[in-house]
Every structure is written in C-alpha cells, then in structure tokens.
Amino acid sequence: MKKIQNSLSTVALAIITGVAALSSDCRAAGNVGDIFQIGQVSFVGGGKRDFIATPFVRPVESNGTGVVASVTSSSTLVLDPDGSDYTGTTQWTGGSTTQDKWHIVEILNGRYIGLVFLIGAQNGNTITTSEVALPTDGALVGSSYAIRKDWTLSTLFGDTDSASFPFAHGDSASTADTVNLFIQFTQGFAPYYVKKSDKTWRNSFSQLSPHARVPYGQGVQVLRRAAGNGVVTLAGEARKSRLRRDVGSGKFALLANLSLAPTTIQALSASIDRGTSSADDTVQTWNSSTGAWTSYYRRTSDGAFVSPFGTTTAVPLAAGKVVRIKNIGAAKAGVDAITAEPNLP
C-alpha cells in the first residue's frame, strides 16, 4: 500500500499511523463536507479500553440547507430553507434508541462556523436545542446551515452479523465487547453490546438500542476482551471547518481528530484558557496501555502546550483518536465555546 496523498484529484489506498484510508472521493459541495472518506481505525484488546473518534458526518438531508433567519433565545432559532418551508413538528425530530431520526444542524460559515447541535424540538422552521447555548449576539443570523442525521450504533458500525464486524457478541455487557457512549450532560459512560442470540444492539439492561445516538465530532470508548488489536471501518464526509463544543464549568468533553490524518494537539489547537499548571484547563491524551489520561496545559506566557514534565514538544494525536478537554473555569458556551481545527489532509 502506498502512503496516502489526499487532494481534490487524488484517490488513495494507504495506511497512515494507525488508520488505513481505503478511498477518497471528493465532490464539489461548497462548505458542506465535500470529501467522502472510508478508513480503518485500530484499537487495543486484551480487556483494555481505547477510544475511537467520530470524525465524519452523514450526508446533508434533502432540503436541509438554508440560512439562519433569526435567533430568538439561547435555545431557539428560526431557519430559512433554500427550498420549501419546513412543516409540522416531526420532520427533523423523533430520534430514539430504536429510531434513526436524530438530526443535527451544522453552521457552515460566518463567525460561528463549526457550531453543531442536536435538534430537540421543531415547529415548522423554528428549531429548539438544549445541547448548546446558541450565540445571541446577532452574528449567527445570515449564516448558512446544513441539516444531517447524526450517527447511531447501527449506522456507524454497520452489519452486526458481518464477518468484519469489529466487536465480539455476548450474552450481556459483562461478557461481550462493549461500546461505551460518553454522555456529556451526566459526564458518564453508557455501555452497549451486541447480543449473541439475535445480533442486536442492547444497552446494559438488555433493551434493544440499535439507534442509540453517537454524536459527531466526539468519539466512543471501546472495550475489546480478546487479545490483539481490533479494527473498525469508518465512512462518511469529512467536514472542512472547525468544530465548536460547549463545555460546562468543571466538566469534561471529548473532541475527535476530525480527519484520517495524524495530527498533534498543537495543530488541533483547542481553545482552552491559558494557565500555569495541569490544575488549570487541559487537553488530555489517552494512554491505552496504562488506562489513563495525560494532561497538557496551555502556558500563560506564550500559549504553548506543556506536559507534566515541563516539555513543549509536539504531542501526537493518531488518526481516528480523541482528546479530552477539561474545563476548570467558567462555562465555555455560545460565544466562548471551545473550538478545534480539522487539519484535513
């Protein structure tokens, strides 16, 4: 396999630092995630926990583009679609653990490019979300948007009965491999597994959950019980712009490496507050061997990311992996949300 060379005219078959990029097909779509990619991400086994990023998005929905007409509160905005007006209360809602109807709005340009949030409720063109604090300074008005379905366990990981399915089935969450979804609101993980008898996704109570939501730009924790590394195939559209993420005071958030190329935490450039030690805001990388996070704070004097040993050398972040943000100060939301750069190859 050749080393990857992604460009607007290149199709590559390659392996890059933990990820095999199987194909790349670029389509002219403005700012609406125009690079389609398929790649394989490895994760450790032997009963150790690892993380897999969710770096791609699903396609834009039919009549899912337009501009923001107004922002009426920090939780409600009005959209102006390019096509016909939206109708009713269920066009963009209805997602559940058994229904693939989780829809997200992505802001494509303007000051708040990269803002992504779940549609919680809809009344025609009026959208409500509880996932982020919408900026109310007026700068969001006039920005272009795209509506997409968000990922679910089934849509992200594919056919559970396939020979290439990456996780071992089991009779319960204690015997099967698990995919553990980070719930930012509760700051905890919710485990899911595939039941051996019928090859269906289940939660820890063995309830059917094929469409438990897997938020874009975040990532999941995986637990492989067998020895040796596992491999998962990811496919979707690579967005071209930064990602914005609200993080509450004293809270954590997961941020994905948004491309199939390795990067560094310096290039990811998460906009945490500067400080003087790891007791301040930090960007953290996962060590699957030790099962622990390593923290890097952003030095007050020059903005350099500093390790626990005082070094400022580039810190690698493999393709298909995540960092964890620790926010110590005031909530980072709305105008002040954390941003991260995509570093597309």
Mean pLDDT by runs of 10 across the 345 residues of the chain is 26 35 35 71 96 93 98 98 97 98 97 96 97 95 98 97 96 97 96 98 97 96 96 89 93 90 92 96 96 96 94 92 96 93 72
What's the pLDDT at 32? 54
Mean pLDDT of the residues in the chain: 89
What's the pLDDT at 115? 95
Q: Is residue 195 part of a domain?
A: no
Q: Residue 144's domain spans which residues? A: 60-149
Domain count, the chain: 2
CATH number reported for the structural domain that contains residue 133 in this entry: 2.40.10
CB within 8 A of 113, min separation 6: which ones? Answer: 31, 107, 143, 241, 242
Q: What is the pTM of this model?
A: 0.89
Q: Is residue 264 part of a domain?
A: yes
What's the pLDDT at 20? 46
Q: Is residue 268 part of a domain?
A: yes
CA distance 299 to 277: 8
Domain boundary among 101, 129, 149: 149
Give the closest residue to 321 by CA, choosing from 115, 14, 16.
16
Structure tokens at 258: 């948004």
Give the residues across from 322 on adjacent strands: 256
Which burial class, exposed, middle or buried, applies to 190 when counting CB atoms under 10 A from its CB (0-12, 13-18, 19+)?
Answer: middle
Encode pLDDT of 267-294 as tens digits.
999 999 999 999 999 999 999 999 999 9
